[in-house]
Amino acid sequence: MRAGPGPTVPGGPADRPLRIGVLAVQGDFAAHARLLEGLGAEPVEVRLPRDLVGLDGLILPGGESTTMRRLIDLYGLREPIVALATDGAPVYGTCAGMILLANRIADGEEPVLRLLDITVQRNAYGRQLDSFEADIAVPALGEAPMHGVFIRAPVVSEVGPDVEVLARDPDGRPIAVRQGRVLATAFHPELTPDRRLHRLLLEMIAP
Ligand code: GLN
């Protein structure tokens, strides 16, 4: 389901859509893939290192970060994902994806990809707020708030000096951050019709 001509690779053949990998070992990768297709990009499900070859960008979806971490290592994906990002491909992590990107995880858990200078705290909203929805102001994306869907979501408890905070939760804690070409949100825009964050990812590749 392509929605007309989408963004293409700068300097590449005009008809080659952006190829965006979606880590597909566990979690809600299918929702991201559908959304990317709707934006005219070509989603590529990533399960093995060879799936990462030639990608223009990568999405790390929500899910269970403990399981995802295990499968990333089982399939040998850790190094090639880090290499793709350090070669300059933009990466966007939602929820568990944000945890995978973080340089530090509160409570001493080993970090996974170390591509984002933040500390995350897993399951930060406690039992009663296991899942909730809230309108979130994201000034960098325009005036209209984003509808944030939070599912056993993490928060960011520390940000490094090069990290830009794009949004905060009602208590003022960062829940959307960007450091260069790495983007992360604690919430799940792929479960809403709002495409602004996915567009931002595509614009990092083809402005
Ligand atoms: N609580 C999950 C974790 O710690 C993240 C939840 C999500 O991705 N929706 O991995």
158-196 per-position pLDDT tens digit: 999 999 999 999 999 999 999 999 999 999 999 999 999
Sign of the C-alpha dihedral computed for residues 45, 51, 55 and 61 taken in this order: positive
Q: What pLDDT is recorded for position 1?
A: 43
Virtual torsion, Cα 23, 7, 164, 88, nearest 10 deg: 60
- Given a contact cutoff of 8 angstroms between Cβ atoms, the answer to whether 129 and 122 are in contact is no
Q: List b or e across 133-144, with b for residues whose CB sees 16 or more CB atoms inside 10 angstroms.
A: eeebebeebeee
Ligand 1 site, residue 64, Cβ cutoff 6 A: yes
Residue 60 CB–ligand 1 contact under 6 Å: no
Nearest alpha carbon to residue 45 among 66, 63, 29, 27: 29
pLDDT of residue 2: 45
Strand bridging mode 146-151 / 131-136: antiparallel
Query: DSSP letter string over 19-48?
Result: EEEEE-SSSSHHHHHHHHHHTT-EEEEESS
Supply the residue whose CA is at minimum distance from atom 1 of ligand 1. 152
Instruction: Give which of 172, 153, 121, 51 is closest to 59, Cα–Cα.
Output: 51
Residues annotated as part of the active site: 95, 188, 190
This model's pTM is above 0.85: yes
Residue in 62, 64, 2 with CA at minimum distance from that of residue 38: 2
Q: Sign of torsion, CA 93 96 98 99?
A: negative
pLDDT tens figures, 124-165? 998 777 899 999 999 999 999 999 999 999 999 999 999 999
Cβ atoms of 196 and 142 closer than 8 Å: yes
For residue 86 and ligand 1, the question of a CB distance below 6 A is answered with: no
pLDDT at res. 207 = 87
Q: Binning pLDDT at 50, 70 and 90, where does residue 7 land?
A: confident
Q: Which of 151, 156, 185 to mutate to test the pocket of ligand 1 (most atoms within 8 A of CB)?
A: 151
